[in-house]
Structure 1
Amino acid sequence: MLTYLQPAVLRAYDNFWNNTGKHPELVQHYTAMWKHVARRFADDPAVLGYDLMNEPFGGTKQFGFFEGPVLTPVYQGIVNAIREVDGDNWVFVEPQALGPNEGAETSLGTINDPRPGGPRIVLAPHFYPGGVDLGGSYDGVTKMLVQAQFALWKRNMPAAARRLDTPMWLGEVGGMGQDAPGAAGFTGDWLSMADELGIGWAYWSNDPGSSGITDGNGQPTLFAGLLARPYPRAIAGTLVKVSYASDALTVTWRNKPGVTGPTEIWFPVAPEVTSTDPGGTWRTHWDAARHVLSVWADPGTASHTVTVKP
């Protein structure tokens, strides 16, 4: 992290963002690069979207001096360029890394999506609380400090997504070795946070190694077991709540007009449906090849709850 404060690194970022007033062409080249990438992958079914920059850093401009007046218009220019060649794929935008990664508020401004049919912009903040990122543990006093950052992140990032009128995605999380104190607890807590917020996530897996899902011998680490847990991959309506405890996943959703098809739940092994809507009709299908349980709920019932376990 301290690498960012080296004079050469600061100057490089200042030149990129044109904080110096000497290099407006750098952002122009960056925007042209994204247009080129979007043109190449616009029709590729394996591509969902584009994350415009990993953990933006403003050089000598930070927080309100960077995110609003500098980062937001750069993002807007890139989105405009992408939409000239790709009108369908999603665009993921990250707030600056310093601060929001630890739960601080973001001053990122609204990015308008010129595509027809509604915007496809996603707010994709990362989560690296300082006690874990720098201290490498989740116990004692450090755990108390990190839990405070959990609370800040849960308050400030969803608030930013509502302000910007975008869905939210936990764009990156991880960073602990499996032998670090509290590694399992930290992983379980951020997974529960994602469930509580109803958002997806991407794990930073530095493989092979103790912070990845495989170690130096190719064997599964602690995180392989923790991360391979069930989740709802598609909801036939509006998600209300998702929770995971004692190897059982419970999902609640409401019907939504015009939505057809089943709710799909990924499970690592063939699951057992232990409860569904009382009095309603429903059916399920297990696809062993995709590890997906499909649940067709009673359309005559307004809301649905299903619990599945191994």
Structure 2
Amino acid sequence: VYLDMHQDLWGVKSGNGAPAWATLDEGRPHARNPNLWQESYWTSPMVHTAFDNFYANKPGPDGVGIQDRFAMVWRHIAKRYADDTTVIGYDLFNEPYPGSPMKMLPFLIAAKMAKMRADNGEEVTVAGLLEEYKSEENRRRTMTEVAADEKLLKAVLEGLEPLYMTYERDALNPMYARVAKAIREVDRNHIILLEPGGGAIIGVRSALQPIVDAEGRRDPQQALVPHAYGLPMGDPSTVHMSLIFVRISQLAKRLEMPVIVGEWDADPGNNGDRRPMASFIVSQLEKRLYGDTFWIIKPDLQAQPYFDAIQRPCPMATAGELLSYDYDRDARVFRCKWNERPSIGQPTRIYLPLAAFPKGFTTELTPPGSKCHQMPCGSGRFGVLLDIPPVTDATIRELTCK
């Protein structure tokens, strides 16, 4: 389990998250699109003002800075869970966005689109495109077009980089540093989980920085928890999702951090079949050895036709370095390879959902070593755990279940 300070559109007055008393909106109105709630990030004066005042640490009703209060909340939570081994870490802020700078987002997209279309010989103006985008149907058509064309997609995302990177450097990184400092006053055990700015969700490059202390020493317990979704109003494509995962990998490499993809969905738009997109995203997760949490787990999730694509065998813990793993759904074969270090003194643990092997399974282990120990996962109704004791010497091991 990790704890996520969740918000959408800042707080309860406009979406969910911060309480009303912590929403310093200065009485500004909220602009809401019932068909696409995310648009309020760039259209709502209430949301803009609440975020602006949060990053500026404006005083709340009690005279204490609202960002200071936010850090105090995290300190209180961290103190409560400091010795709780069920919790692995703290996701400091869900999908952080700028405030009023987001008003520029439609203009930046229109400017980049106008240039690209003019380069192709079309007569088009930024003002004309902004007028076009007033139609929801036109916005959806444009975003779907962008998501499917790699050249156009990269150009649009590049046009958004100055907005998001400036925000991360000037507001997001300092806020994370403040909150991390408060947490480390009471808890040095758990992982600080950092989400890049909201632009990274769709593949915009990020200026996120690691947490360091007052002496510039890097915090040893931190990880990256990006989200991966398509463009708002657009139907996602494998072209777009591939680019998002490339950008996540580049960011993780620069920051030297492990990755949990904190949210992803497989909605192909227009109520289409989610299974192909779900399978594609899972292949990206397995290829890059990322942890993940699927959004959103509902009571009827197991009844969904795409559930088979997202439930899969996976390593929960390896006694050494995980090298690769994958699950071939057609052949019903799972493989996992790791570089085992006996000094860790713990078994490698694999989760196997029973639905992945409806007729049962056999295991092959190289080098053989001791036998796998099988036990129920929870009630055992849906899956089992395999514990693989380490061998005596460091070696590369491989498990096959089929």
TM over 0.5: yes
Task: Identify the residue that residue 284 of structure 2 maps to in structure 1.
Answer: 193
Taking a change above 3 Å as real, the CA distance of residues 12 and 117 of structure 1, as seen in their structure-2 partners, is closer
Amino acid at match of 1:109: Q
Matched position secondary structure for 2:193 = strand
1:14-53 map, 5 Å: 14-18=52-56, 25-53=65-93
Taking a change above 3 Å as real, the CA distance of residues 94 and 288 of structure 1, as seen in their structure-2 partners, is same
Distance 1:256 1:178 in 2: 45
Shift of 1:91: 1.4
Shift of 1:302: 2.1
Shift of 1:289: 4.3
Amino acid at match of 1:108: L
Task: Identify the residue that residue 174 of structure 1 maps to in structure 2.
Answer: 265
Shift of 1:90: 1.3
Contact kept in structure 2, 1:187 and 1:226, CA below 8 Å:
yes
Shift of 1:200: 0.9
Task: Identify the residue that residue 387 of structure 2 maps to in structure 1.
Answer: 294
Contact kept in structure 2, 1:266 and 1:292, CA below 8 Å:
yes
Amino acid at match of 2:309: L
Indicate the structure with greater helix content. Answer: 2
What 5-or-longer segments of structure 1 have no aligned partner?
215-219
Does 1:104 find its partner at 2:204? Answer: yes
Amino acid at match of 1:268: P
Compute the RMSD of aligned alpha carbons.
2.7
Task: Identify the residue that residue 11 of structure 1 maps to in structure 2.
Answer: 49
Taking a change above 3 Å as real, the CA distance of residues 118 and 78 of structure 1, as seen in their structure-2 partners, is closer
Amino acid at match of 2:361: E
Task: Identify the residue that residue 217 of structure 1 maps to in structure 2.
Answer: none
Distance 2:322 2:387 in 1: 15
Counting matched residue pairs gives 287
1:230-309 map, 5 Å: 230-245=313-328, 246-256=331-341, 258-269=343-354, 272-277=361-366, 280-290=368-378, 291-296=384-389, 298-300=391-393, 302-309=395-402
Report percent identity of matched pairs: 27
Shift of 1:297: 5.1
Amino acid at match of 2:192: V
Shift of 1:254: 1.0
Choose 1 or 2 for highest CA Rg.
2
Distance 1:228 1:242 in 2: 14
1:49-64 map, 5 Å: 49-61=89-101, 62-64=163-165
* 2:193 aligns with one of 92, 101, 112: 92
Distance 2:198 2:218 in 1: 31
Distance 1:178 1:103 in 2: 18
Distance 2:296 2:305 in 1: 12
* 1:164 aligns with one of 255, 267, 272: 255
Contact kept in structure 2, 1:105 and 1:156, CA below 8 Å:
yes
Taking a change above 3 Å as real, the CA distance of residues 117 and 153 of structure 1, as seen in their structure-2 partners, is closer
Contact kept in structure 2, 1:242 and 1:251, CA below 8 Å:
yes
Contact kept in structure 2, 1:48 and 1:89, CA below 8 Å:
yes
Matched position secondary structure for 2:290 = coil
Out of 194-203 and 247-256, give the one that drifted further. 247-256
Taking a change above 3 Å as real, the CA distance of residues 263 and 52 of structure 1, as seen in their structure-2 partners, is same
Contact kept in structure 1, 2:315 and 2:336, CA below 8 Å:
yes
Task: Identify the residue that residue 21 of structure 2 maps to in structure 1.
Answer: none
Does 1:2 find its partner at 2:85? Answer: no
Task: Identify the residue that residue 71 of structure 1 maps to in structure 2.
Answer: 172
